[in-house]
Structure 1
Amino acid sequence: MKNDWLKSAIFYEIYPTSFYDSNGDGIGDLKGITQKLDYIKNLGCNAIWINPCFCSPFRDGGYDISDYKKINPKFGTNQDAADLCKRARELGIKVLFDLVPGHTSDEHPWFKESAKANPSKYKDYYIWTEGALEMGTPDIRTINGMQERDGAYAINFFAFQPSLNYGFVDPTESWQIDYRDDRLKPLRDELVDIMNFWLDIGCDGFRIDMAWSLVKNDKDGSANAWLWSKILSKVREKHPDALFIPETGWPFATIAGGFDMDFCFQINEPYYTLVRHEKGTNNAAFAMKGKNYFSSQGEGSIECFAKEYPKWLEFVKDRGYIAMPSGNHDIPRLSYNRDELDQKIFFAFLLTIPTVPFIYYGDEIGMKYQKGLLTKDGGYLRTGSRTPMQWNESKNKGFSCCDMDKLYLPVDLDGESVESQEKCKTSLLNFIKNLIKFRKEENITAESSLEIITQDSQGYPAAFKVDDIVTVIQPASRQAEIKLEGDYKIIFHENADFVEDKVIFKNKGYIVMKKMTKN
């Protein structure tokens, strides 16, 4: 059953280490997030997704959990999490935690027990081969010879992230367990217990990392749908309004598993051809083999998005929603190779189409991707998108009062701040605030209708009709025009005008208009 609240949701993603430091140790924390909730509300967002904040050695940004039921001490305490959720609820903001169910840290007590020579309760919690000299399969990477147990353990990413065992479809090796086997039920029960624990504390749901990779060899997604329908239905017995969002980009399978919505993001062709198609703009090598549509060079194409995205909307129509981000913690920032107008063009699109928008912290002020930073917490190329939020023009851009050498990552001292942009009427921040306000006033939601109008496959320019609102964008740095019949009132525009049934662009730009009804 659809969660109707989500259709009007606008999310703000927070990387907790870099958002706001409340105690001067150079690291962001939960109390810092709580202190900045008013800013998020004033921006217009009514939900936040907080990247991992549970106990972890932080060798992969917290995606290597060592205790699912305890806040990492550098971020605060479980009481701080409860206080954050309580204050957010008072402000009408929902809180989603990042849950990592596919693997743990190799420092997690479950894994330490599972890795013993004679494991007992946790024997099947992780994927192990039957001998330390035995390798995995082409699809299952293993680490050999590192533990007492006579076996090699499977990993999802780094060597210190052992794969939890949710089973296999059609097992081909003696050490592979069918995903429906009762030996795997205790792990599923653990996951239900973890979710209920945090929902009881006060959070509203979870963004779930690698949600569709839990059951292995699942080519059509049906086994993971089976798994998640069991887990989520159990959680909803106690928390019927809990929200669940998978990191998948496969709504045709995830919605069947009981998730509320899915992302159209950097691994999906309809999205990556828009903004993540060029070298250096994505973390998925297969996606970086073309030109971005949202580029002043004007060498990309909107064809894939225009063809596929309406199909996604139609599929989830009575089932759930599609979310679309400005960026996230895994990829270079939206501002990479884009000036302020380029970013305004993208946000004019994102905030006026049927989707659940996600704004990555700092994208609303055009924070820069800092190339060349040494890796921190396993970030590698992702590190440059995780730098401290730029709040004002005081020390460390207002992120922390600590000495500069104690900062988690360097602050971009030359970058714009919230304070400076709030003072400028035409800033990116104020533009986004006004767009969000307009979106709410005109009741543009994830369920609104969508018609895409282009003059050719490239789509320079392209018009998006959403109920009575039409947004026309021209990302390319060249003159252009497109015919639109009807009477319209101009709401926002830059380098564009509406004259005699035509939108005319002097250069790259955007125009947002409302159709006027005749009396």
Structure 2
Amino acid sequence: MATSEWWQKAVIYQIYPKSFNDSNGDGIGDLPGITAKLDYLKALGVDALWISPIYASPQVDSGYDISNYRVIDPRFGTNEDLYRLITEAHTRNIKVIMDLVANHTSDQHVWFQQSRQSRNNYFSDFYIWRDPRPDGSAPSNWGSYFGGSAWEYEPMRKQYYLHYFAKEQPDLNWENPLVREAVYDLMRFWKAHGVDGWRMDVISGISKFTDFPDYPTPNNESFVVGALHANGPRLHEFLQEMNQEVLTPFAMMSVGEAPGSTAHNARQFVDHTRRELNMVFTFDHMDIDHDHNAPFPEKFHPLPFDLVKLKHSLSEWQNILFEHGWNTLYFENHDQPRVISRWGDDQQYRYQSATAFATVLHGLQGTPYVFEGEEIGMTNAYNFELADYNDIEVTNTAKMLGTAVTGLSATELLAAAHKISRDNARTPMQWDATANAGFTSGQPWLKMNANYATINVATDRQQTQSIFAYYQQLIQLRHNAEWVTAGKYQLLLATDPQLFAYTRTYHDHSWLIVANLSSANAATTALQQALGKQQCGQLLVQNYPARQTLAAPLQPYEALIAELK
């Protein structure tokens, strides 16, 4: 596959606006706050910003419930603030990617307010309505990702509407061509104002299995979330139409969030000959610590980190998409906790953990995504009590405590939330050691992580061991070394429980990427045997000083990238 598109050599930085930088002291991050930090992002070296939703919203699900797609929510500023941000970013050669939430809207959107009123107006079929069963119950046993039924009864229509997420987030009916054209039109609107591309929220869910068959319920569950929630029969038809109508004509980058997708069916999304999307976010590698046999929600029953599973998942995507599509590379985003707290050691080996996981990720083929704070090694927030959480997954689960549904006590839920909750990523950005980490002069919308006095941008950039500086090296390597973009991947030591090692080969030259993802020394004997006659040449990146060969064991979370000779 040719590697000539700008996004193939790019590193994209995700901003969760509410938590990035507050310019007016109201405790909520905003667009002028982002604009004020563009020089910081330029210094890091990133090529584009993905900005999580900033549209008008009641904020039931942190802005993923949109009530007006063409208006910026006043919490974040104005449309003019966004236009200025785009202009200022472009002057620094930084592109702007917006979030497209097209599976559902807010129930406060005018489309839904009209749709709920009757079965025979212009908007009646903008959403998915079904009659009750004869006994008055929901049309099927489909569950919401946030718990409970995916169906909500609307007395005005005497029907149920479908919502994969909160009941305030009704799903759009993509079977209706008027809905599709309305979505394409809002995409054109933002392109006209300079937006360079789209991250598409849960895009694999837009096509439904419209007969809504009941799921089997082997555990006697009332409501089930399963495979039928994604990859419906017309999904790829809809994406090809979107590509034809908007993406290709306006040269807009696209990355889809695709729950329920595997490396095999991902090729349907991203093979350039199919003209759908440029790349999709995989969830495979982020689910390796989910206990799929646990009660709902399974993510709050986390399993220990399993490096072998991680290697298998990432390798499968590298191999299957090579020359057939393009990977997204990430460990953190607004829906994932901090990777060093989840799978690494954020105490004794915080610098080493942060740089080791970064090395593994940034050596792969694909486009890396850096989530705000990841570049300074921000950690999970262990100072939260259950009452401090804003994450709807935690708050909904807390309401079910004491029932047979979750199988969790309050103590167990808190421990799981400390490890896996989305709020671990959403705590405000830690800029310096002043009050509220320099994020706001007011009261932060979400509790601060207690460690901001020691973990912050200002402190990190002054350190000899600076995580920010290490990320700069990785980003520069991607920009300058063609093998990072185009080289073939080969996993080494697939079953080794400590070492993640692989090679990238391009034009008869090879490079080694290796990290010890454990807190114990890791012998390198098997690695040297796997490399055979190849020896380490020039070390391009390393997070421990003074290593020249692979003779000595790798120290805890030691990582390096070396040319092989």
Tell me whether the two structures share a fold, i.e. TM-score over 0.5.
yes
Secondary structure in 2 aligned to 1:469?
strand
Q: Residue 277 of structure 2: which of 259, 275, 280 is its match? A: 259
Q: Is the 8 A contact 1:491 1:511 kept in 2?
A: yes
**Partner residue in 2 for 1:480:** 523
Residues in 2 aligned to 1:424 and 1:163: alpha-carbon distance in whole angstroms:
48
Aligned match of 1:332 = 337
Normalising by structure 2, we get a TM-score of: 0.78
Question: Hey, what's the Cα distance between the residues in 1 that align with 2:275 and 2:139?
Answer: 28
Secondary structure at 2:130 match in 1: coil
Preserved contact between residue 375 and residue 471 of structure 2 (Cα < 8 Å): yes
SS in 1 for 2:554: strand
Amino acid aligned to 1:428: I
Find the aligned partners of 1:511 and 1:445 in 2 and give their Cα distance: 14
CA shift at 1:278, angstroms? 7.7
Distance across 1 between alignment mates of 2:545 and 2:463: 21
Select between 502-511 and 109-118 the one with higher mean Cα deviation: 502-511
Give runs of aligned pairs for residues 140-155 of structure 1, distance below 5 A: 141-155=149-163
Relative to the length of structure 1, the TM-score reads 0.85
1:441 corresponds in structure 2 to 480
Match of 2:141 among 138, 142, 148: 138
Q: Secondary structure at the match of 2:258?
A: coil
Q: Could you list the per-position Cα deviations for residues 120-171 of structure 1 after superposition, in whole angstroms to 9, with x for gaps in the alignment?
A: 000100011135935222337454444411211111111111111124xxxx
| C-alpha contact (below 8 Å) 2:115/2:121 kept by paired residues | yes
The residue that corresponds to 1:458 in the other structure is 496
Task: Give the Å deviation of 1:188.
Answer: 0.5
> 1:412 matched to which residue of 2?
449
Which residue of structure 2 aligns with residue 244 of structure 1?
254
Give secondary structure in 2 for the equivalent of 1:480: coil
**Counterpart in the other structure of 1:175:** none
The AA in structure 2 aligned to 1:159 is: K
Which stretch of the first structure deviates more once superposed, 480-489 or 16-25?
A: 480-489
- Cα distance in structure 2, aligned partners of 1:327 and 1:65: 24
Question: Could you tell me which residue of structure 1 aligns to residue 416 of structure 2?
Answer: none
Stretches of structure 1 that go unaligned for 5 or more consecutive residues are 168-183, 295-299
Within a 5 Å distance, the mapping from 1:287-298 to structure 2 comes to 290-293=303-306
Deviates more, 1:15-24 or 1:440-449: 440-449
1:321 alignment partner, SS class: coil
In structure 2, relative to structure 1, the CA distance for the partners of 1:124 and 1:349 (3 Å cut) is same
Alignment of 1:190-229 (within 5 A): 190-217=182-209, 223-229=234-240
**Could you tell me which residue of structure 2 aligns to residue 95 of structure 1?**
96
Name 1:171's counterpart in structure 2.
none
8 Å CA contact 2:13, 2:50 repeated in 1: yes
2 CA distance for matches of 1:149 and 1:306?
Answer: 47
* Residue matched to 2:244: 233
2: distance between equivalents of 1:215 and 1:503?
Answer: 54
Q: 1:497 Cα shift?
A: 7.3
446 and 292 in structure 1: CA distance in 2 versus 1, 3 angstrom threshold: farther
Paired with 1:284 and 1:212, the residues of 2 have a C-alpha distance of 21
- Per the alignment, residue 105 of structure 1 pairs with 106
- Between 1:112-121 and 1:31-40, the stretch displaced more is 112-121
Q: Distance in 2 between matches of 1:445 and 1:85?
A: 29
Question: Which residue in 2 is equivalent to 1:391?
Answer: 431
Q: For the structure 1 residues 446 and 503, does the alpha-carbon distance in structure 2 shift closer, same or farther, using more than 3 Å as the test?
A: farther
Of all paired residues, the percent bearing the same amino acid is 27
Checking the alignment, whether the CA contact within 8 Å between 1:49 and 1:95 is kept in structure 2 is: yes
Cα pair 1:293 1:475 within 8 Å, conserved: no
The number of equivalent residue pairs is 479
Unaligned runs of 5+ in 2: 144-148, 210-227, 395-420
- Asked whether the 8 Å contact 1:58–1:64 carries over to 2, the reply is yes
Secondary structure (helix, strand or coil) at the match of 1:192 reads: helix
SS across alignment from 2:482: coil
**1:48 shift after superposition:** 1.1
Deviations 1:199-225 (A, max 9, x none): 111111111111011111277655200
1:505 equivalent to 2:557? Answer no
User: CA distance change for structure 1 residues 109 and 331 in 2, over 3 Å: closer, same or farther?
Assistant: same
Which stretch of the first structure deviates more once superposed, 357-366 or 285-294?
A: 285-294
Instruction: Write the distance in 2 (CA, Å) between the matches of 1:500 and 1:100.
Output: 49
CA contact (8 A) 1:302 1:457 kept: no
Counterpart of 1:491?
540
CA distance in 1, matches of 2:341, 2:355: 14
Measured in 2, the distance between the counterparts of 1:513 and 1:303 equals 20
* Partner residue, 2:410: none
Paired residue secondary structure (1:450): strand
User: What residue number does 1:401 align with?
Assistant: 441
2: CA distance, partners of 1:131 / 1:302: 43
Deviates more, 1:386-395 or 1:440-449: 440-449
> Relative to 1, partners in 2 of residues 1:120 and 1:290: Cα closer, same or farther, differing over 3 Å?
same
Contact 1:47 1:95 in 2 (8 A): yes
More divergent stretch after superposition (373-382 vs 346-355): 373-382
What residue is the counterpart of 1:179 in the other structure? Answer: none
**Contact 2:542 2:559 (8 Å CA) reproduced:** yes
Deviations 1:38-57 (A, max 9, x none): 11121121011111100000
Residues 277 and 292, structure 1, Cα contact 8 Å, conserved in 2: no
User: How far apart are the structure 1 equivalents of 2:152 and 2:499?
Assistant: 55
CA distance in 2, matches of 1:361, 1:324: 15
Relative to structure 2, which stretch is displaced further, 500-509 or 196-205? 500-509
Decide whether aligned partners of structure 1 residues 353 and 288 sit closer, same or farther in structure 2, where only a CA change above 3 A counts: farther
Give matches, 1:324-403, under 5 Å.
Answer: 324-337=329-342, 338-339=345-346, 340=350, 341-371=352-382, 372-373=384-385, 374-376=388-390, 378=392, 380=394, 381-402=421-442
Deviations 1:313-354 (A, max 9, x none): 32xx24x31101131111221131523112221111111221
The CA deviation at 1:441 is 2.8
Q: Is the partner of 1:392 in helix, strand or coil?
A: coil
Instruction: Provide the residue aligned with 1:312 in structure 2.
Output: 320
Name the Cα RMSD after superposition: 2.7
Which amino acid letter does the alignment assign opposite residue 263 of structure 1? F
Aligned to 1:115: 116
Establish whether residue 165 from structure 1 lines up as the match of residue 179 from structure 2: no
Contact kept, 8 Å, 1:396 with 1:413, in 2: the verdict is no
**Offset of 1:37 from its aligned partner?**
1.4
Q: Provide the C-alpha distance between the structure 1 equivalents of 2:553 and 2:470, rounded to a whole number of angstroms.
A: 21
In the TM superposition, what is the alpha-carbon distance from 1:427 to its structure 2 partner?
A: 2.0
